[in-house]
Amino acid sequence: MPSILTLPELETTKDVKENVSVLAGLDADIEKDIRRAIRKKVHLSIVIPAYNEEKRIPKTLKKILDYLEGKEYFSEIIIVDDGSTDRTRKVSVRIPTDRVPIRIHANSSNKGKGSAIRKGMLAAKGEYVLFMDADMSTPIDELDRIIPQFHKGYDIVIGSRKMPGVKINIHQPKHREIMGKMFSCLSRIMTVRSVHDFTCGFKCFRRACIKKIFSRQRLNGWCYDSEILFIAHTLGFSIKEIPVTWSDSSDSKVRLWKDVVLSVLDLIRIRINSMLGRYR
Ligand SMILES: Nc1nc2c(ncn2[C@@H]2O[C@H](COP(=O)(O)OP(=O)(O)O)[C@@H](O)[C@H]2O)c(=O)[nH]1
Ligand SMILES: [Mg+2]
């Protein structure tokens, strides 16, 4: 009987499928072990923070699964349900998937996007870990342009709506765009000078930097983007910003003025945390 010890050598789902077909008829326990091994060999994790996303998330999950279907590597999807009061969790577990596990983490109450991102990133097992918004404002196939940047040696690759080459299909409302620009300008002064767009919800990280960055991340609110990029920069990780496609979704959960004021206060908090050595 083939030994389970050969499993770590399996590199692609094609390998696993071939081996599963050999093993499946022999022993149900072995198939279980293979599934466990698949989970351990995750190459790509996709983390989605979700707050009251019952309407948007099923379509997003289906699109991601379609995209991953064409890939030979292993992957997983992690949804962090941040105390949703709707059926976010229920509709997510109902999505049929046979080869890409969808794992759901849940906060008992709404703690904020920053908190959800931290939870999901620290739970992810992938060699590369992407976080993205549930509304898929940046389409998942932009990953095809992100991953090659890691082969050039970058540690973090982030989507940007503020660079030449960007394709904006549906713009954010004018006031959101202006506020976004002002926030990015302030973030640049307070955190990382070289970044143009801090708040695009499409950022991918190499495994080696995830624990170091996200175990230091402290902010739970919307300013987490600036904080994680600041931590990454402080720790010496390289960040590559690339232009992406963006289609705004009208159903925003940002409470405009309140969240902007809180984010600016959080920028000050980042500097204070840094001075107190909390990111070291
Ligand atoms: N965990 C968590 N996620 C949130 C919260 N609010 C929004 N999100 C998620 O953050 C992502 C972006 O939210 P969205 O409303 O599209 O923000 P916008 O595109 O900046 O207007 C989505 O995946 C939301 O479900 C929250 O309070 N907690
Ligand atoms: Mg959105």
Please give the backbone phi and psi of residue 239, each rounded to the nearest 5 degrees, phi first: -120, 130
Eight-class DSSP state of 77: E
Closest listed residue to residue 96, CA positions, set 65, 55, 54: 65
Counting ligand 1 atoms within 8 A of each CB, the residue from 92, 253, 257, 263 with the most, and so the one to mutate, is 253
Q: Is the pLDDT of residue 19 over 60?
A: no
Which ligand places an atom closest to the C-alpha of 200? 1
Closest listed residue to residue 109, CA positions, set 33, 220, 213, 16: 220
- Segment holding 66, helix H or strand E: helix 57-69
Query: Which residue's C-alpha comes closest to atom 12 of ligand 1?
Result: 133
Q: What is the mean pLDDT of the chain?
A: 88
Q: Residue 30's pLDDT is what?
A: 67
What are the structural domains, with CATH classification, of the chain?
24-136 (3.90.550.10), 154-280 (no CATH)
Of the pLDDT bands very low, low, confident and very high (cuts 50, 70, 90), residue 42 is: confident
Query: Which residue's C-alpha comes closest to atom 19 of ligand 1?
Result: 252
Angle at 203 between CA 84 and CA 205, to 5 degrees: 110
Taking residues 103-130, what's their average pLDDT? 96
Share of the chain above pLDDT 90, in %: 75
Which ligand places an atom closest to the C-alpha of 173? 1
Taking residues 267-276, what's their average pLDDT? 97
Ligand 1, CB cutoff 6 Å, lining residues: 48-51, 53, 80, 82, 110, 112-113, 116, 133-135, 137, 201, 249, 252-254
What is the 135 CA–ligand 1 centroid distance (Å)?
A: 9
Taking residues 115-128, what's their average pLDDT? 97
Taking residues 136-141, what's their average pLDDT? 96
Query: Which residue's C-alpha comes closest to atom 18 of ligand 1?
Result: 252
Which ligand places an atom closest to the C-alpha of 60? 1
Q: Is the pLDDT of residue 258 over 70?
A: yes
Question: With left for phi above 0 and alpha for psi between -120 and 50, is residue 153 left, alpha or beta?
Answer: left
Taking residues 119-129, what's their average pLDDT? 97
Count of beta carbons in the 10 Å neighbourhood of residue 168 = 15
Q: Is the pLDDT of residue 6 over 50?
A: no
**By CB neighbour count within 10 A (0-12 exposed, 13-18 middle, 19+ buried), where does 218 fall?**
middle
- Distance between CA atoms of 77 and 46, rounded to whole angstroms? 5
Residue pair 45/76 in contact by the 8 Å Cβ criterion: yes
Q: Is 243 helix (H, G, I), strand (E, B) or coil?
A: strand
Counting ligand 1 atoms within 8 A of each CB, the residue from 51, 89, 121, 197 with the most, and so the one to mutate, is 51
Q: Which residues contact 234 (CB under 8 A, 6 or more apart)?
A: 274, 279
Token code pair at residue 143: 């990953």
Q: Is the pLDDT of residue 22 over 60?
A: no
Q: Poorest-confidence range of 24-33, 36-45, 105-114, 183-192?
A: 24-33
Q: Residue 260's pLDDT is what?
A: 85
What's the maximum distance between 2 C-alpha atoms anywhere in the chain? 65
Closest listed residue to residue 77, CA positions, set 52, 50, 37: 50
What is the 23 CA–ligand 1 centroid distance (Å)?
A: 43
Q: If you write DSSP's letter for every residue of 125-180 in order, what string do you get?
A: --SEEEEE-TT-SS-GGGHHHHHHHHHTT-SEEEEESSSTT-EEEEPPPHHHHHHH
Angle at 113 between CA 127 and CA 74, to 5 degrees: 20
Q: Is 223 helix (H, G, I), strand (E, B) or coil?
A: coil
Q: Residue 253's pLDDT is what?
A: 75
Which ligand places an atom closest to the C-alpha of 119? 1
Q: Is the pLDDT of residue 12 over 60?
A: no
Q: Is the pLDDT of residue 148 over 70?
A: yes
What is the 133 CA–ligand 2 centroid distance (Å)?
A: 6
Query: Which residue's C-alpha comes closest to atom 11 of ligand 1?
Result: 133
Q: Which residues sit opposite 157 in a β-bridge?
A: 204, 240
Please give the backbone phi and psi of residue 198, each rounded to the nearest 5 degrees, phi first: -85, -30
Taking residues 108-126, what's their average pLDDT? 96
Q: Residue 33's pLDDT is what?
A: 67
Task: Point out the ligand 1 atom lying closest to the alpha carbon of residue 251.
Answer: 15
Q: Is the pLDDT of residue 217 over 90?
A: yes
- Distance between CA atoms of 77 and 45, rounded to whole angstroms? 6
Query: Which residue's C-alpha comes closest to atom 24 of ligand 1?
Result: 50
